[in-house]
Amino acid sequence: MTKVAIVTGAGQGIGLAIAKRLYKDGFKVAILDYNTQAAQDAAAGLSETDAVAVTVDVSKRDDVFTAFDKVVEKFGDLTVVVNNAGLGPTTPVETITEEQFKQVYGVNVGGVIWGIQAAQKHFKALGHGGKIINASSQAGVVGNPELTLYSGTKFAVRGITQVTARDLAKDGITVNAFAPGIVKTPMMYDIAHRVGKNAGKDDEWGMQQFAKDITLQRLSEPEDVANVVAFLAGPDSDYVTGQTLLVDGGMQFH
Ligand code: NAD
């Protein structure tokens, strides 16, 4: 069986590190992102033949189905789907608008549900099982300050992961999640900037608010997360489903 992986939000950050790692592990890789240029650069940086960029807004169900169809048409198979795309705005509870709620839940929760649906459709049509891997967060395990929307969506991802692990097991599909801690990506620098600004402090102070409880005493590299996703994408995790693996340097113990 050809190994083919779709990684959403793989134009930068954690998704890009996952795409690179899965390519190294022998997967043909589809980089799905709504930032077309970033997706194309990422795919070009991997391979001319075994990587492809597809523009998609994961909050739009039809977009997601069309993007998955393109990937299966190009590579002829699909074995792993990583629903990684996500938004992480800082939202002190009193500031949350209906529009923000719809946007963040649309991407972080909707994007995961549409990705699971499209994966199930293709695995079934291809006549084999597969692995679905969703992005939660340590903020989806314990509530984090000023992240009502974000933490809420990441708790939801753990719930969806557990339910769909039960629902899809009969089709030979495992569903797991990864929960990163504080990863050095554009998203995290942006959150740290806004938390610092809200407190009248600088970015470094903002980052330290998240970093101070890390047992391993260092921030996470995107590759730390990609290593665990590689495990969830490979045969060593065949007997693991419904789980959320914390990859946070020991911020939360569960
Ligand atoms: P990032 O913002 O650096 O990258 C996210 C990528 O997703 C970008 O390329 C962006 O264009 C894409 N994207 C955003 N919305 C999209 C949409 N609607 N459709 C398609 N693509 C979209 O983020 P990151 O830090 O690499 O985070 C990746 C995932 O890991 C997210 O789900 C995030 O919540 C989760 N996470 C990150 C951290 C961290 O510390 N950075 C911690 C815990 C969890």
Taking only the tens place, the pLDDT of each residue in 101-110 is: 999 999 999 9
The single residue of 20, 23, 28, 150 carrying the catalytic annotation is 150
Helix (H, G, I), strand (E, B) or coil at 155: helix
pLDDT at 214 over 80: yes
CB 120 within 8 A of CB 173: yes
Quote the pLDDT of residue 206.
87
Using CB atoms within 10 Å of the CB of residue 26, give its burial: 0 to 12 exposed, 13 to 18 middle, 19+ buried: exposed
Span 46-80, pLDDT tens digits = 999 999 999 999 999 999 999 999 999 999 999 99
Quote the pLDDT of residue 21.
98
Sheet of 28-33, strand order? 51-55, 28-33, 4-8, 80-83, 130-135, 173-180, 244-247
Span 151-181, pLDDT tens digits = 999 999 999 999 999 999 999 999 999 999 9
CB 130 within 8 A of CB 92: no
Clarify whether 150 is annotated catalytic.
yes
Q: Share the mean pLDDT of the chain.
A: 96
Angle between helices 148-168 and 98-105 (to 10 degrees): 40
Whether 115 is in the pocket of ligand 1, judged by its Cβ within 6 Å, is no
pLDDT at 1 over 80: no
Clarify whether 105 is annotated catalytic.
no
Q: Which domains does the chain possess?
A: 4-184+220-247 (3.40.50.720)
Quote the pLDDT of residue 204.
85
In angstroms, the CA 70 to CA 56 distance is: 11
pLDDT at 189 over 90: no
b vs e for 45-65, b when ≥16 Cβ sit within 10 Å of the residue's Cβ? ebeeeebbbbbbbbbbeebbb
pLDDT, average across residues 124-140? 98
Whether 23 is in the pocket of ligand 1, judged by its Cβ within 6 Å, is no
pLDDT, average across residues 22-29? 98
CB 104 within 8 A of CB 89: yes
Q: What are phi and psi of 94, to 5 degrees?
A: -75, -10
